[in-house]
Amino acid sequence: MNAPAKSSLNRAKPDWGYRILLTVAAIVAAWLLLMPICPPIVQSTMQRFHLRTPSFAWWAIQSPIPAMYNFKNTTEVRELPPSGELTGLVDPLWLSPLEEDTSGLGVLATRTINHYPVREFTFANGRVRYLQEDDPRWLVVESHYRGESMQSTYELTRDDAGVWQMVLAEETSP
Amino acid sequence: MNSIASPTKLRWTEWTPLHLTWAGMMLGLFWKWKFFLLADRIYEAIPIHHEFFPEWLQSATVLRIAFLAAAISVVAAWITEQRMRRCVAAAVTWISATVMIWHQGSYNDMTFVTFWWCSLWAFWYTTRLEIDMPEELYRKAARLSRVIVSVVLLGGASGKWTAEYWSGDVLWEIYFLDRDFWVFNWLRSSFDGETLRNIATIYSRKVVLVETVAGFAVWLLPARWAAIIGAVVFTSIALFSNFMLFSVLSPLIGLSLAGWMPRPQIAAEDVPPSENQMAASMGG
For testing contact with chain A, the best of B46, B165, B173 (most A CBs within 10 A): B46
CA A126 from centre of chain: 14
* pLDDT at A87 (0 to 100): 54
Query: What's A16's DSSP letter?
Result: H
Q: In what order do the strands lie in the sheet with B48-50?
A: A107-113, A72-78, A137-145, A148-158, A164-172, B48-50
Binary contact (A18, B144; C-beta < 8 A): yes
- Please say which residue of B116, B131, B146 terminates a domain: B131
pLDDT number for residue A82: 87
Q: Which residues of chain B have pLDDT under 50?
A: 1-5, 267-284
CA B110/CA B262 separation, integer angstroms: 31
Q: Please tell me which of the candidates A10, A13, A29 has its beta carbon nearest to residue B154.
A: A29
Which residues share a beta bridge with B49? A165
For B115, list phi and psi in degrees, rounded to 5: -60, -40
- The residues of chain A scoring below 70 in pLDDT are 1-12, 84-103, 170-174
Put simply, the answer to whether B108 touches A115 (Cβ < 8 Å) is: yes
Among A10, A113, A167, the residue with its CB nearest the CB of B131 is: A10
Residue A165: partners with Cβ closer than 8 Å, 6 or more residues away = A156, A157, A158, A159, B49
Prediction pTM value: 0.88
pLDDT (tens digit per residue) in A120-160: 999 999 999 999 989 999 999 999 999 999 999 999 999 99
Same domain for B143 and B117: no
Q: Are the beta carbons of B101 and A64 separated by less than 8 Å? A: yes
Give the whole-angstrom CA distance, residue B82 versus residue B69.
19
pLDDT of residue B263: 74
Please check whether residues B244 and B215 belong to one and the same domain: yes
Cβ within 8 Å of residue B16, ≥6 positions away: B258
Question: Is B165 in CB contact (< 8 Å) with chain A?
Answer: yes
Can you give the residue ranges of every domain in chain A? 16-89+104-172
Q: Do A66 and B104 touch (CB under 8 A)?
A: no
State whether B185 and B242 are in the same domain: yes
Measure the CA–CA gap between B220 and B218, rounded to whole angstroms. 5
Pick from A22, A45, A66: CB nearest B113: A66
Domain membership of residue B116 as a residue range:
14-131
Helices and strands counted in chain A (H then E) = 6, 5
Q: Which residues contact A122 (CB under 8 A, 6 or more apart)?
A: A51, A166, B48, B50, B104, B105, B107, B108
Residue B195 C-alpha from the chain's centroid:
35
The amino acid that residue A151 corresponds to is Q
B122 and B32 co-located in one domain:
yes
Half-sphere exposure of B282 (CA within 13 A, CB side): 12
Residues B231, B113: contact at Cβ < 8 Å? no
Q: Is residue B278 one of the residues assigned to a domain?
A: no
In the listed set B74, B108, B131, which residue is the last one of a domain according to the structure? B131
Domain boundary among B131, B165, B184: B131
Residue A11, pLDDT score: 55
Quote the CA–CA distance of B153 and A97 in Å, as a whole number: 52
The confidence score (pLDDT) of residue A5 equals: 52
Residue B214 and residue B169 in one domain: yes
Q: How many CA atoms lie within 13 A of A125 on its CB side?
A: 6
Assign A154 to helix, strand or coil: strand
pLDDT tens, position by position, B128-161: 999 999 999 999 999 999 999 999 999 999 999 9
The secondary structure of chain B, three-state, reads: CCCCCCCCCCCCCCCHHHHHHHHHHHHHHHHCHHHHHHHHHHHHHCCEEECCCCHHHHCHHHHHHHHHHHHHHHHHHHHCCCHHHHHHHHHHHHHHHHHHHHCCCCCCCHHHHHHHHHHHHHHHHHHHCCCCCHHHHHHHHHHHHHHHHHHHHHHHHHCCCCHHHHCCHHHHHHHHCCCCCHHHHHHHHHCCHHHHHHHHHHHHHHHHHHHHHHHHHHHHCCHHHHHHHHHHHHHHHHHHHCHHHHHHHHHHHHHHHHCCCCCCCCCHHHCCHHHHHHHHHCCC
Question: Is B273 among the domain residues?
Answer: no
Query: Do B121 and B146 reside in the same domain of the chain?
Result: no
> Is B149 an interface residue toward A (CB < 8 Å)?
no
ipTM of the complex: 0.88
Q: What pLDDT is recorded for position A97?
A: 54
- What is the enclosing helix (H) or strand (E) of A41? helix A39-49
Q: How many domains does chain B have?
A: 2
Q: B29 and B118 in contact (C-beta within 8 Å)? A: no
CB burial class (10 A; 0-12, 13-18, 19+) of residue B277?
exposed
Q: Are residues B119 and B210 in the same domain?
A: no
Asked if B98 contacts B57 with a C-beta cutoff of 8 angstroms, the reply is no
Sign of torsion over alpha carbons B47, B49, B50, B53: positive
Cα of A80 to nearest chain B Cα, Å:
19
